Structure 1
Amino acid sequence: METDFSVVDPETIEAERFPESGNRHRKLTDALGCTEMRVNTVTLEPGEATTPHAHERQEEVYVALDGGVVEIAGESYDVAPGGVVRISPEPARSVRNESDDAAQTWVMFGAPPLGTVDDFGEYTVPDGERE
């Protein structure tokens, strides 16, 4: 029987490394049983940043659990702990940790859930941004 809810401790999901940047992330979509969105966490050590990217049709919402900086279309924005950011599909975006001493974790939601949990689908990295 399918349930109508899920409770997941992200720490129970094995952390993986993004191939482009090496950042740690946890894929929560399957564990949560999501069918209408994709959910991941990304943890950045001091000085780390995600690779700038865009999506063809996927809107994203980011929650900065520990605060941080989001860059959207070349503009940087400070995000307070617990702050929420919505980004339409087209602009290039990335998040970074400008702190000197603490990891920062972001929860990232994408809808519609394009591709699979293994292949993010319609994920594009602007020329010259791949690490």
Structure 2
Amino acid sequence: MSREFSVVDPEDVPTEQFTTCETSVRKLSERLGATELRVNQVIVQPGEVTTPHTHDGQEEVFVAMTEGQIGIEGTVHEIAAGNVVRVPPETTRNLRNHSDDETHVWLAFGAPPVGSVEDFGAYVVEEEG
């Protein structure tokens, strides 16, 4: 772990797409020098829904930078800008945007990291059925 502090403007980090959906993400962990947690900025456009999933052994904390919606075990919760949501590892979660014209922006923190910053461990997508 670096003993230096770091500051990152997410706008300076290129967006990527999640491998399981069309939602854009800015991976901030490496730029921050974070080795003890994973940090992402997730940008959910109108009509987008991220893939419902759990993380094997990793809880997540989501900070709503704008108002937004999060699905927890299939129930949609409206989250006010600035609110913080903690989700245990075994709980199914996904970010949603059911608005017509507002982009939702979240910061997602995962700890403890499983694997490495590049490969943070099992991303478990439940089978439909």
- The more displaced of 25-34 and 66-75 is 66-75
Other-structure match for 1:4: 4
Cα RMSD between the aligned structures?
1.4
Q: What SS class does the counterpart of residue 31 from structure 1 fall into? A: helix
Answering whether residue 102 of structure 2 is matched by residue 110 of structure 1, we say no
TM-score by length of 2: 0.93
- The more displaced of 113-122 and 71-80 is 113-122
5 Å-filtered alignment, 1:1-131, equals: 2-128=2-128
Aligned length: 128
TM-score by length of 1: 0.92
Separation in structure 2 between the aligned mates of residue 9 and residue 3 of structure 1, nearest angstrom: 20
- The more displaced of 117-126 and 61-70 is 117-126
Separation in structure 2 between the aligned mates of residue 123 and residue 29 of structure 1, nearest angstrom: 17
Alignment identity in percent? Answer: 49
Q: What SS class does the counterpart of residue 105 from structure 2 fall into? A: strand
Q: What SS class does the counterpart of residue 30 from structure 2 fall into? A: helix
* Residue ranges of structure 2 left out of the alignment (5+ in a row): none
Shift of 1:121: 1.0
Shift of 1:4: 2.5
Shift of 1:102: 1.6
Native 8 Å contact 2:22 2:48 kept in 1: no
User: Which string of whole-angstrom CA distances, capped at 9 and with x for unpartnered residues, describes residues 21-76 of structure 1?
Assistant: 02100100000011210000110110101100101110100011111111111222
